[in-house]
Amino acid sequence: MRNKKTVLAAAFAAVAALTLSACGSDTSTDTSVADVSVEPRSKPATVLDQPFTKPDLVLTDTHGKTYDLREKTKGKPTLIYFGYTNCPDVCPLTMSNIALAKRALPKADQDKLQVVFVTTDPERDTPASLGSWLKAQDPEFTGLTGDFPAIQAGARQIGIGIDAPKKEKDGTVVSMHGAQVIAFSPKTDKGYVLYSEDTTAEDYTKDLPKIIEGENP
């Protein structure tokens, strides 16, 4: 019998409950949870026993056009990440690591891979500002913004908790969000692989060819 570890998950989701991050600081997330099992991993990628269904999200892309996540990424290897452009550390590092790994792929595979960044700070991350920020990472990355309640609901569908941005005493605005990347298979459109914020560019470089083929790393 395989050795497994039990982790916490949102009651309506089928994977680990994710710690909220203020792009560098941590706090506890919702305590309404259910037990599920995942295979223990010694590396940042966790293969889920119960994969996620792709979020039912219809938002606005960086060109100001309506973007139906399920429709646009159907049958394509897809990485989804929730974060915000004013994040000083975790968000830009995560996107940079993915961009570096993507550039190491053959051109045909680069064209297949969909990387979707959904803002958790839609008031400041307008389509224009989000597009400018992502262009510095990779001009082919998709950026989405829209109403915060819709974004929060979409994140919850894949077990990621996010809080509405709030202003600190020093005037800075902080967006608390789960800092995980979830990979969706082109074969089933299900999210089988979860990456922690500690995942390096080298980790993604090793795993992306398998993700693109619909295999688990």
How buried is 2 (Cβ within 10 angstroms: 0-12 exposed, 13-18 middle, 19+ buried)?
exposed
Where is mean pLDDT largest: 1-10, 37-46, 107-116?
Answer: 107-116
- Provide the percentage of residues in the chain whose pLDDT is more than 90: 69
Distance CA 195, CA 174 (A): 22
**Digit-coded pLDDT (tens) for 59-78:** 999 999 999 999 999 999 99
Is residue 167 pLDDT above 90, yes or no?
Answer: no
Lowest mean pLDDT among 3-7, 40-44, 152-156: 3-7
* 0.75 exceeded by pTM: yes
**pLDDT at 31 (0 to 100):** 30
- Give the C-alpha separation, 186 to 196, whole Å: 21
CB 35 within 8 A of CB 14: no
* 45 φ/ψ angles, rounded to the nearest 5 degrees: -75, 130
- Is residue 9 scored above 90 in pLDDT? no
Q: How far is CA 106 from CA 93, 101, 102, 103, 147, in A?
A: 23, 11, 9, 8, 36
pLDDT digits (tens, 9 = 90+) for 79-100: 999 999 998 889 999 999 999 9
Question: What share of the chain has pLDDT > 70, as a percent?
Answer: 80
- Single out the residue of 147, 157, 129 nearest to residue 51, CA to CA: 157
What is the token pair recorded at 34? 């259910």
Angstrom distance (rounded) from CA 143 to CA 60? 8
DSSP code per residue over 110-176: HHH-EEEEEES-TTT--HHHHHHHHHHH-TT-EEEE--HHHHHHHHHTTT--B---EE-TTS-EE--
Average pLDDT, the chain: 83
Q: Which residues, listed in sequence order, are joined to residue 186 by a DSSP beta bridge?
A: none
Tell me: pLDDT of 166 over 90.
no
Whole-number pLDDT of residue 88: 85
Task: Give the model's pLDDT for residue 174.
Answer: 74
Would you state the pLDDT for residue 5?
33
**pLDDT band (50, 70, 90) for residue 157:** very high
Does residue 139 have a pLDDT over 80?
Answer: yes
